[in-house]
Amino acid sequence: METWVSFVTEVGFPIVVTFYLLHRIESKLNDLIESIHALPAKMK
């Protein structure tokens, strides 16, 4: 049981941070994709 607790504390935090950062980057990438798709219409 003690090994499971140490495993979760060692590995759990980096996993949470990674998912948080991926979530933030995903929204910014979606904004970038929308901007690229709108670019031809703005250039006309």
Q: How far is CA 39 from CA 4, 27, 29, 32, in A?
A: 51, 19, 15, 11
Q: What is the pLDDT of residues 16-41, one digit of tens each?
A: 899 999 999 999 999 999 999 999 99
In the chain, what are the domain boundaries?
A: 1-44
Query: pLDDT tier at 9 (50, 70, 90 boundaries)?
Result: confident
- pLDDT confidence of residue 8: 78
